[in-house]
């Protein structure tokens, strides 16, 4: 029989229950959730982040909690990547054919047009087939949108639902613009295939069930940080966010900024304007939407001289500056760093069997699920506390 200490060692570190700070900032989303619960609408959340969420880590667990309580409105917006190097959704099955080139806001190269999710897939007589999934079961959808870029010399956009063509439009235009083709099929469909004849850049697709419920739309991109949004996404992001009309914007960036020298002096004050600029860029298209800032999980590094691992020294200042920026901007704040255990927790989690990845930066899927459950519980707790009576 396992001793208590052995059992605790197998269980690994415990997540610290952490409440949402400034929960009143989430009221627009709470109202949308109440509408979904009453059967009158959809509550849409768009979750921006880096590698912590880019493979749907954290996001899929929170999504599951919301869908279980408020109904399944579908995957919502999905970036036209379908490439696990940049973004992958657990609620989508997808395959591509033909010639595709990907550009992201990590490296640039798309002239300020990256769509809602920071990834543009340039199709050259190519196509992609997408299915919404609930576990291993295909989920029927009723509403779909294909988001693309129109411009000089571009070809034709087409889409099929269960093999039947439902749209074919020219993407040729006198200047570069962003557009979308939308359609509803009351009987529903299982498979959406879209593509281009000629050259067309695609941003993504929207899949919705046509029923009341919630979405939690993961648009994370591996490697990005605040400057990715200000430098590459820039002003082109705002119209895309406006078009999606989210009820909640979640900003979980900073993991790739933990080593910034600006974090080491004066409480990290020089870092705050860097983060604020990224926050403002993301929020510009939906200033009336609720906003939630989530700082990165603790990170560690190995000292080259001693060979020992320790938390990166700038982490407490990073979290403090993101908190201050969030509250000043009228956003909610959920302290994932403290929920993980704060300073030194990167080392503890990395050494816990099945929870860490060994790089002192990332967690395993099981580790992320623990954090996600705490986030989901905090969000639902804040929602319940905000209800009248």
Query: pLDDT tens digits, residue range 119-136?
Result: 999 999 999 999 999 999
Q: What percent of the chain has pLDDT over 70?
A: 97
CA distance 90 to 148: 23
DSSP-based three-state secondary structure for 259: coil
What's the confidence (pLDDT) of residue 389?
Answer: 75
CB 146 within 8 A of CB 169: no
pLDDT band at 372 (very low <50, low <70, confident <90, very high): very high
φ/ψ of 45, rounded to 5, equals -120, 135
How many angstroms separate the Cα of 315 from the Cα of each of 190, 223, 319, 342?
45, 18, 6, 9
Section 37-66 average pLDDT:
96
Q: How confident is the model at residue 50 (pLDDT cuts 50, 70, 90)?
A: very high
Angle CA 276–278–284, to nearest 5: 95
For 183-217, the pLDDT digits (tens) are 999 999 999 999 999 999 999 999 999 999 999 99
Tell me the domains of the chain and their CATH numbers. Answer: 15-73+212-389 (3.40.50.1110), 77-84+91-210 (2.60.120.1360)
Confidence grade of residue 11 (pLDDT, cut at 50, 70, 90): low
Q: Tens digit of pLDDT for each residue in 294-351?
A: 999 999 988 877 878 889 999 999 999 999 999 999 999 999 999 999 999 999 999 8
pLDDT tens for each residue of 75-90: 999 999 999 999 999 9
State the Cα–Cα distance between residues 178 and 189, nearest whole angstrom. 26
* Rounded Cα gap, residues 250 and 323, in angstroms: 14
Residue reference for tokens 């990395």 = 350
Q: Which two tokens stand for residue 206?
A: 């929207």
Q: What is the pLDDT of residue 2?
A: 39
List, as one string, the DSSP characters of 21-75.
Answer: BSGGGGHHHHHHHHHHHTTS-EEEEEEEESHHHHTSTTHHHHHHHHHHHH-B---
pLDDT of 382 > 50? The answer is: yes
Long-range contact list for 257-262, CB < 8 A, 24+ apart? Answer: 257/225, 257/226, 257/296, 257/318, 258/296, 258/299, 258/312, 258/314, 258/315, 258/318, 259/301, 259/312, 259/314, 260/314, 260/318
Question: In the predicted model, is pLDDT for residue 4 greater than 90?
Answer: no
**Mean pLDDT (whole number) for 134-141:** 96
Average pLDDT of the residues of the chain: 94
User: How many Cβ atoms sit within 10 Å of the Cβ of residue 131?
Assistant: 20
**pTM for this one?**
0.95
């Amino acid at each position: 029989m396992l001793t208590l200490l052995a059992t605790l060692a197998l269980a690994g570190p415990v997540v610290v229950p952490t409440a949402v700070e400034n929960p009143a900032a989430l009221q627009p989303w709470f109202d949308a959730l109440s509408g979904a619960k009453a059967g009158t609408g959809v509550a849409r959340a768009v979750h921006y982040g880096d590698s912590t969420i880019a493979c749907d880590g954290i996001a899929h667990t929170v999504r599951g909690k919301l869908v279980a309580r408020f109904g399944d409105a579908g995957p919502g917006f999905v970036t036209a990547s379908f490439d696990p190097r940049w973004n992958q959704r657990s609620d989508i099955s997808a395959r591509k054919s033909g010639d595709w080139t990907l550009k992201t806001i990590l490296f640039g190269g798309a002239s300020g047009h990256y769509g809602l999710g920071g990834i543009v897939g340039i199709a050259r007589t190519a196509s992609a087939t997408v299915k919404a999934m609930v576990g291993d079961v295909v989920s029927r959808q009723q509403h779909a949108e294909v988001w693309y870029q129109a411009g000089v010399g571009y070809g034709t956009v087409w889409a099929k639902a269960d093999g039947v063509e439902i749209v074919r439009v020219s993407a040729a235009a006198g200047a570069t613009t962003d557009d979308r083709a939308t359609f509803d099929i009351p009987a529903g469909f299982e498979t959406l295939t879209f593509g281009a004849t000629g050259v067309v850049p695609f941003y993504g697709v929207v899949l919705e069930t046509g029923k009341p419920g919630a979405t939690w739309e993961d648009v994370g991109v591996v490697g990005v940080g605040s400057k990715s949004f200000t430098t590459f996404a820039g002003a082109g992001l705002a119209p895309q966010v406006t078009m999606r009309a989210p009820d909640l914007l979640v900003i979980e960036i900073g993991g790739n900024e933990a080593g910034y020298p600006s974090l080491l002096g004066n409480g990290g004050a020089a870092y705050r304007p860097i983060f604020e600029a990224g926050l403002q860029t993301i929020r510009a298209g939906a200033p009336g939407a609720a906003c939630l800032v989530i700082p990165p999980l603790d990170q560690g590094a190995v000292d080259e001289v001693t060979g020992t691992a320790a938390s990166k020294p700038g982490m407490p200042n990073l979290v403090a500056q993101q908190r201050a920026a969030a509250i000043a901007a009228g956003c909610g704040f959920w302290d994932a760093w403290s929920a993980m255990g704060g300073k030194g927790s990167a080392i503890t989690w990395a050494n816990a069997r099945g929870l860490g990845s060994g790089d002192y930066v990332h967690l395993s899927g099981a580790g992320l699920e623990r954090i996600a459950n705490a986030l989901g519980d905090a969000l639902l707790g804040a929602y319940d506390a905000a209800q009248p009576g």
